[in-house]
């Protein structure tokens, strides 16, 4: 039986009605095509990427999200090809599914510098069915509780566009996702503007520090991210990510602790989020698990580090 506290049911209904937004994942820098189709890379390899996020584990039917990306690059065509699929289950009654095909054209500005322009297209399916909630105490609800019987679903076309500039030391990207809708509805995400930058700082022959900034705007809401990862011999890494909720009186302030390793063609990463904002009264933690596998299809010398 689907059970949930009335405060959480009300919160999820509010989110469903007023803000269908993109996933916010801590380890997305490792595979960015769901946020920016231009981030497809320039490696002659097939890269498969899987990322799962589990929130509010101490709450029944807590949110669960996931991303699956596959991408490759063809040097003779100066083009990257990929497929991205994401899902987002916000509790028992709200969910979305977003598959898209991805293409990027890469201009080699210099031997160690490229500019990528990408486009992705697909569909977005979402639903909301408040009847799946079982309210524990109906007396706690206000007189206006018709939302309990609300049901809505829809499938819509979805298009993204982005550009990314990169060299061995730094990377910048800008993208616009969900170009066909300006204001969010229950079943369709609105236009999102994403920007990010990352710098690779060689501390020594064995350690590389990669600080990063990211910013997303949608529906008059802004989300910022401050990130730093320390790599050891491109084999082990650890880092911190902070999402300051500076545009909403710091209502949520999660800090993420990130750990990972790469062995041959495999990557595995884990992230633990701790929330010390107002939302921490509902739940304090979230967990992310990342798996990645790469198949080298051609021996090609490229001027970029494995970690992007």
Residue 113 in any domain: the answer is: yes
CATH number, domain at 155?
2.40.160.40
Q: Could you report the per-residue pLDDT of 127-152, keeping only the tens digit for each? A: 887 766 666 555 555 555 555 567 78
Residue 273: pLDDT band (50, 70, 90) is: confident
What helix, strand, coil percent values describe the chain, rounded to 5? 10, 55, 35
DSSP state of 12: H
Residue 215 in any domain: the answer is: yes
What six digits make up the tokens of 251?
Answer: 């209502």
Residue 308 in any domain: the answer is: no
Residue 2: pLDDT band (50, 70, 90) is: very low
Residue 305 in any domain: the answer is: no
Residue 306 in any domain: the answer is: no
C-alpha to C-alpha distance for 85 and 49, rounded to whole angstroms: 10
What six digits make up the tokens of 261?
Answer: 């390793």
Residue 182 in any domain: the answer is: yes
Q: Could you report the per-residue pLDDT of 18-56, keeping only the tens digit for each? A: 344 677 778 888 889 999 999 987 777 899 999 999 887
Domain count, the chain: 1
Q: Of the ranges 157-166, 185-194, 228-237, which one carries the lowest mean pLDDT score? A: 185-194
More confident site: 39 or 185 = 39
Q: What's the pTM?
A: 0.82
Helix (H, G, I), strand (E, B) or coil at 99: strand
C-alpha to C-alpha distance for 162 and 276, rounded to whole angstroms: 33
Supply the range of the domain harboring residue 34. Answer: 3-296
Residue 302 in any domain: the answer is: no
Residue 202 in any domain: the answer is: yes
pLDDT for position 112: 83
More confident site: 245 or 110 = 110
Strand runs labelled E in the chain:
3-4, 45-55, 64-74, 79-90, 94-110, 113-129, 134-135, 151-166, 170-177, 192-199, 201-202, 207-218, 221-232, 236-242, 254-263, 266-275, 285-296
């Amino acid at each position: 039986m689907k059970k949930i506290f009335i405060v959480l049911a009300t919160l999820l209904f509010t989110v469903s009605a007023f803000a269908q937004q993109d996933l916010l994942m801590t380890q997305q820098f490792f595979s960015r095509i769901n946020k920016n189709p231009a981030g497809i890379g320039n490696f002659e390899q097939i890269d498969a990427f899987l990322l799962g996020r589990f929130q509010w584990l101490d709450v029944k039917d807590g949110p669960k999200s996931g991303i699956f990306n596959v991408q490759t690059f063809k040097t003779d065509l100066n083009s990257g090809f990929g497929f991205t699929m994401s899902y987002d289950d916000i509790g028992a009654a709200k969910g979305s599914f977003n598959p898209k095909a991805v293409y990027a054209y890469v201009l080699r500005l210099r031997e160690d510098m490229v500019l990528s322009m990408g486009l992705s297209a697909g569909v977005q399916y979402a639903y909301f069915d408040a009847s799946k909630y079982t309210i524990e105490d109906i007396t706690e609800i206000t007189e206006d509780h018709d939302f309990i019987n609300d049901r809505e679903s829809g499938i819509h076309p979805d298009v993204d566009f982005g550009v990314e500039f990169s060299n061995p030391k730094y990377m910048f990207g800008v993208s616009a996702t969900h170009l066909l809708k300006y204001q969010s509805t229950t079943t369709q995400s609105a236009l999102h503007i994403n920007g990010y930058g990352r710098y690779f700082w060689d501390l020594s022959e064995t350690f590389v520090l990669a600080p990063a900034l990211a910013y997303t705007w949608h529906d008059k809401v802004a989300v910022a991210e401050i990130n730093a990862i320390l790599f050891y011999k491109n084999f082990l890494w650890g880092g911190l990510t902070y999402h300051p909720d500076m545009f909403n009186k710091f209502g949520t302030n999660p800090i993420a602790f990130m750990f990972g390793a790469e062995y041959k063609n495999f990557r595995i990463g884990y992230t633990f989020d701790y929330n010390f904002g107002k939302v921490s009264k509902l739940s304090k933690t979230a967990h992310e698990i990342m798996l990645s596998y790469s198949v080298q299809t051609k021996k090609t010398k490229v001027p970029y580090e494995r970690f992007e």
